[in-house]
Amino acid sequence: MTDPAPDIARLTATAAEASAGRTSGLRLLDDTGLLAVVLDVTGLATDERQPLEDRVRAALLNEAGVREVRVAMTAEKKTLTIIAVGSGKGGVGKSTLAANLAVALRRLGVRVGLVDADIHGPSLPRLMDSEDAKPASRGSKLVPVDNAYGVPMLSTGQIAAPGQAIAWRGPMAGRALEQLIDASWGAVDTLVVDLPPGTGDVQLTMIQKHKPAGAVIVSTPQDLALMDAARAVSLFEQVEVPIIGLVENMAGYVCPHCGGVSDPFGSGGAETAAKEMGLDFLGRVPLAMGIRLASDGGVPPAAGTDPQGEPFHAIAARVAAWLEARKGR
């Protein structure tokens, strides 16, 4: 008895499963069971490609009527979409926002990675609970460190000797950031980059060189902080980086005892400032003890189901909508 004719729909499903969705073409080349498969290996490192090919070939050879499998691979040159998170001054919660934005975007299905370019105080390893992790290298590229939140990350803190980073000047900081961005990011297509606070030479070099697709500016509600935030906005505008919007952090203190809300730094200032500058307002994150404790403990509130994560999810949804709209442009 001869083998039944191969069932193309079934072979396509088998290839899709074995390649985790990376099959971009499949056809029979003749009637003796010679099959050609095209795999999209965009973002995969060289040493990940052979195992993929082997898996797909083995799965297909297991199917009825398949005698030989020829595998071709294609890869797009990938450009990463960079979202810069900036602030006019330090201590306003920029890193907290960057970490939670990345975690919340991941939960929305965005293939996101996180870069800590805050050379003055790289705090993301702590926030993402990967303080002791050192990135490996693959060829000449760094391999981002994984964490429990599904957001691969690289930090200046991981590549600099203690105390070294703070002395970096603009061009050196730009080169350090290049190493982090031009890393082996695998399936990641969007990077959230936590910039150093402020609007000086270092920030300017970084954004000129790496041209983010858009920027999120974080501010607290006081007038002084908002004046600094306006400076950050104009820094991005100067180099024609679109502002995705403004976030107001530490607005409204939620008392952990009585649940009452007070406004030690005022409230609503960033929303008004955004309106005045013609920018979108992305949301307000309250000043809450729980946010600080969770963050310092390496558990971004956006990773859990506590109400504390909600403001970050709402902000991430607006950023994801902005990213989607940008694709259509």
Ligand X SMILES: Nc1ncnc2c1ncn2[C@@H]1O[C@H](COP(=O)(O)OP(=O)(O)OP(=O)(O)O)[C@@H](O)[C@H]1O
| Residues at the interface with ligand X (CB under 6 A) | 87, 90-96, 118, 121, 123, 197, 249-250, 285, 287-288, 291-292, 295-296
Residue, CB closest to ligand X:
90
Q: Say if residue 295 carries a ligand binding annotation.
A: no
**65 vs 121 by CB, closer to ligand X:** 121
Amino acid identity for residue 202 in this structure = V
Q: Are 29 and 87 in contact, with CB atoms under 8 Å apart?
A: no
Beta-strand pair 281-288/243-254? parallel
Query: Closest approach of Cβ 84 to ligand X, in Å?
Result: 13
End-to-end CA distance of the chain: 57
Of 261, 260, 236, whose CA–CA distance to 246 is shortest? 236
- Alpha-carbon gap, residue 12 to 214, rounded angstroms: 38
Q: Is 43 annotated as a binding residue?
A: no
Q: Strand, helix or coil at 48? A: helix
Task: Tell me if 88 is assigned to a ligand binding site.
Answer: yes
Closer of 92 and 241 to ligand X (Cβ): 92
* Residue 209 annotated as part of some ligand binding site: no
Backbone φ/ψ region at 93: left (φ over 0), alpha (ψ -120 to 50), beta:
left
Q: How far is the CB of 20 from ligand X (least distance, A)?
A: 35
Q: Residue type for 100, please?
A: N
Short-list 232, 248, 242, CA closest to 200: 232
Q: Is 33 or 125 the residue whose CB approaches ligand X more closely? A: 125
CB nearer ligand X, residue 121 or residue 242: 121
Largest CA distance in the chain: 84
Region of 163 (left: φ > 0; alpha: ψ -120 to 50; beta: rest) is left
CB distance 152 to 199 below 8 Å:
no
What span, in angstroms and rounded, lies between the C-alpha atoms of 318 and 104? 11
Closest distance of CB 229 from ligand X, Å: 11
Question: What is the nearest approach in angstroms of ligand X to the Cβ of residue 218?
Answer: 7
> Annotated binding residue at 214?
no
Write down the least CB distance from residue 94 to ligand X, Å: 4
Nearer to ligand X, 44 or 124 (CB): 124
CB of 208 to ligand X, least distance (A): 20
* 91 is an annotated ligand-binding site residue: yes
Query: Which lies closer to ligand X via its Cβ, residue 39 or residue 115?
Result: 115
Which residues are documented as binding site for ATP? 88-95
Which residues are documented as binding site? 88-95
